[in-house]
Amino acid sequence: MIDFALARRMMVDGQVRTSDVTDLRIIAAMLELPRERFVSEADTDLAYLDTDVPAVRAAAGEQVRHLLKPMVLAKLVQAAAVKAEDRVLDVGCATGYSAALLARLARSVAALEQDPLLVRLACENLAAVGAGNVTVVTGALTEGWQRDAPYDVVFVNGATESMPRTLCRQLKDGGRLVAVVGRPPVSRAMLYCSVQGDVSGRPIFDAAAPLLPGFTAPPAFVF
């Protein structure tokens, strides 16, 4: 039987701390949250591996959704510089692990998901870990959640092939958006900041992540 507490400690010590994640709030949250709860029962032995873990078992032909690998998740969250008073939008919360982590850092989290099964699982999991400051909302991931905008932080829980402009428009002045942008092998974790309505981005580290549904880049016109 797996000792999940030991697995969490090994994940943090071997994957997170060694990747220059120094925010003690993130480290404490990742040591406490039962990541194994947020994957299917058949995959709990994969929960703490250095990889993107399937959130649920998908039927043939369906796109598999994942929990981001711990190192990428932790570094993205640290780059977003989430403060205790911040309002956060978690785009593509899947089964709720990223939202549970963000909830330990922020005032409130809107956890956006479009898949009905994932919405149900996220609600159950977040209630189980006591994330009372998270509201799970349902809608198209590409559209964000305008109803509660603007946000201090938008966390894109997966990859997008191009800058997510619709989501960037939901940032308040001084707000930050983090995402993995591009296609492997040239994808990078990006930090976008909104200043007086203008949004600019910069790469923060090389990374890859599973593509979120709807976040493919539009076809480029070729002469």
Q: Which CATH number goes with the domain that contains 152?
A: 3.40.50.150
Q: Within a domain: residue 214? A: no
Report strand pairing: 53-54 vs 66-67. Answer: antiparallel
Separation of alpha carbons 7 and 48, rounded Å: 6
What single string gives the DSSP state of each residue in 113-172?
E--HHHHHHHHHHHHHTT-TTEEEEES-GGG--GGG--EEEEEEEEEESS--HHHHTTEE
215 in a structural domain: no
pLDDT of residue 185: 82
In this prediction, residue 105 carries a pLDDT of 98
Residue 201 lies in a domain: yes
Is the Cβ–Cβ distance between 100 and 127 less than 8 Å? no
Does residue 102 sit within a domain? yes
Does residue 31 lie within any of the structural domains?
Answer: yes
What pLDDT is attached to residue 34?
Answer: 98
123: in domain:
yes
pLDDT, residue 220, reads 57
Give me the pLDDT at residue 61, please: 57
CA angle 200, 108, 101 (to 5 degrees): 80
Q: Point out the residues of the chain with pLDDT beneath 70.
A: 59-62, 219-223
> How many independent structural domains does the chain possess?
1
Global pTM reads 0.94
- Cα–Cα distance, 14 to 16 (Å, whole number): 6
* Residue 165 falls inside a structural domain: yes
Q: Which domain holds residue 68?
A: 4-206
